Amino acid sequence: MNKPIEIKAASERHPEFFKVTDSIINECHELINLKGFRPPTTALAYVKIATIIRAYNIYISINILLKTDHWEEAAIIARTLFELVLNLEEVIREKEKSESNARKFLRFSCLQESLHLLRNVEYEIANNKCSDERKGLAKDLEGLTSELFAEFQINNNYLRYWCGKSVYKLAAESSNPLRISQYKIIYSYCSDLIHGSPFSVMTTWVPLDKKMSELENIENKNKSEEKNILEIIMLSTTWLTEVLFLGQSEFVEFDLKIILENFNKIYDLIGIKPPYLRKSVR
């Protein structure tokens, strides 16, 4: 019997990748958890801080998944990072409206929480697991939700997005011209992975080339996964950094030089040395 070929995890195959991502996580930990934030006094501050923490947690999760060769799952949650950037851009798009936008953002969060509670009760009712008392409370909650969040209703249906704009529309209206390209290329790619499409299923199975040895097939697969891992690292680091930059006013201490140097580490990994970044941090 042939001895099984042992394939090392991505963290062992590419320690140089994760030396960089671990360093970024440690720097963010110091920025967020040690130096911390200014006490929030506005809705806008709350939204910025919550978005930063969410983005940081997602980046940590992406790093864990990539280390263990789950790049498909990492790509799925990287999509959320992209949405965080777009939503925060929308909140602060017009300075004079940023506080009211932040309040609207928070109200929509309350609406979503209320709707989740109602759907749970609907499930209980459908399965005969709901008491009459709970049914009555649910009916009261439904009426209260409709009254409190009328701004998010059109034809008795609730909006899917807090600002009434889809992810595509947010990308198209962003002041950053790269957003729409990111949406078309990356976001749709990640969407294919998240929705259980044929493509997402077949990423887990790579047909063997019978003209190659088993080792050669494994090497080809590893090269393909290396490209995917690097792409996700690049994108997720970019989007995390953009969230940090958009929310920088809430930090007790914010060092732009450190943030930009993180880009240099990533660019070095993939062999790109943008002069404008290097000049800005030295």
In terms of phi and psi (left: phi > 0; alpha: psi -120 to 50; beta: otherwise), the region of 36 is: left
The per-residue pLDDT for 44 is 98
Angle at 74 between CA 68 and CA 76, to 5 degrees: 150
Give the predicted TM-score (pTM) of the model.
0.85
The per-residue pLDDT for 237 is 92
Q: Computed over its alpha carbons, how large is the radius of gyration of the chain? A: 23
The per-residue pLDDT for 276 is 44
In terms of phi and psi (left: phi > 0; alpha: psi -120 to 50; beta: otherwise), the region of 126 is: alpha
Task: Count CB neighbours of 93 within 10 A.
Answer: 15
Helix axes 214-246, 15-29, angle to 10 degrees: 20
**Distance in angstroms (rounded) separating the CA atoms of residues 65 and 248:** 27
Give the DSSP per-residue string, the chain.
-PPPPP---HHHH-HHHHHHHHHHHHHHHIIIIII-BPPP-SHHHHHHHHHHHHHHHHHHHHHHHHHTT-HHHHHHHHHHHHHHHHHHHHHTSSGGGHHHHHHHHHHHHHHHHHHHHHHHHHHHHHTT---HHHHHHHHHHHHHHHHHTGGGEETTEE-SSTTS--HHHHHHH-SSTHHHHHIIIIIHHHHHHHTT-HHHHHTT-----TTS-HHHHHHHHHHHHHHHHHHHHHHHHHHHHHHHHHTGGGBSS--HHHHHHHHHHHHHHHT---HHHHHHT-
> What is the full per-residue pLDDT of the chain (282 aa) written as tens digits?
455 556 788 899 889 999 999 999 999 999 999 999 999 999 999 999 999 999 999 999 999 999 998 988 999 899 999 999 999 999 999 999 999 999 999 999 999 999 998 888 888 887 877 777 777 888 888 899 999 999 999 988 999 999 999 999 999 999 999 999 888 877 777 777 766 667 666 666 566 556 656 555 556 566 667 888 998 998 899 999 999 999 999 999 988 777 777 777 887 877 776 544 433 333
**Distance in angstroms (rounded) separating the CA atoms of residues 134 and 236:** 43
